[in-house]
Structure 1
């Protein structure tokens, strides 16, 4: 009985102890990232947020559809233009401080035409 060795990478099977099913096919659960929409198709929402931040204000940009690399690149551009820190993960960009109007202006300059302020 020949074993299929091309799909037998042990790193893909971490946390699977043993299977008695001879037809068992381990699924890695790798999901493909969504393709990044063009800037004029993105529907971004810009808002100020204070929740769970110790009373400090942050500018929150949500609604980005695309790859994590493109999200981080946009976040890096916004943070550097505002001269502050922040983060970009889980489809949202956090810019430290109250930069709502400046972020909206920067996004419109970059071609994000469907940007709208919230709240």
Structure 2
């Protein structure tokens, strides 16, 4: 008997609310017509992936940056309307953005 069944026995009149919490789906992010530019740079000898060209609100871009960083389990930052990800993750980031519905353009290499 799991916890859910025990709670049903204790509170038989309670109606549970089913919540479908999907972390991959990010509602309330503005989709744009122009593609997001995904490029590779070396900064201080280390590889970085830079995303730029988002024309929506900065808060939406910050949410997108956080989603990418947690999905890939990497470090990064959001500065000057750019997402900077530590490491060369262009292919994975482009796939994540395409799954979310964004248009992505690969620049360099």
TM > 0.5 fold call: yes
Give the equivalent residue in structure 1 for 2:105.
Answer: 116
Shift of the alpha carbon at 1:43?
1.8
2:34 pairs with 1:45? no
- Superposition CA RMSD, Å: 1.8
2:63 pairs with 1:56? no
**Cα distance in structure 2, aligned partners of 1:37 and 1:87:** 19
2:77 pairs with 1:97? no
Q: Is the 8 A contact 1:40 1:111 kept in 2?
A: no
Residue by residue over 1:46-78, the C-alpha shift from the partner in whole angstroms, topping out at 9 and shown as x without a partner, is 01111xx21000110110112221111000011
Higher Rg of the two aligned structures: 1
Which SS does the other structure have where 1:116 is aligned?
strand
Give the equivalent residue in structure 1 for 2:13.
Answer: none
Larger helix fraction of residues: 2
Which SS does the other structure have where 1:61 is aligned?
strand
Structure-1-length-normalised TM-score: 0.63
Q: Within 5 Å, which residues of 2 pair with 1:16-95?
A: 38-50=30-42, 53-95=43-85
**Cα distance in structure 2, aligned partners of 1:65 and 1:89:** 14
Consecutive unaligned residues of structure 1, counting only runs of 5 or more, are 1-35
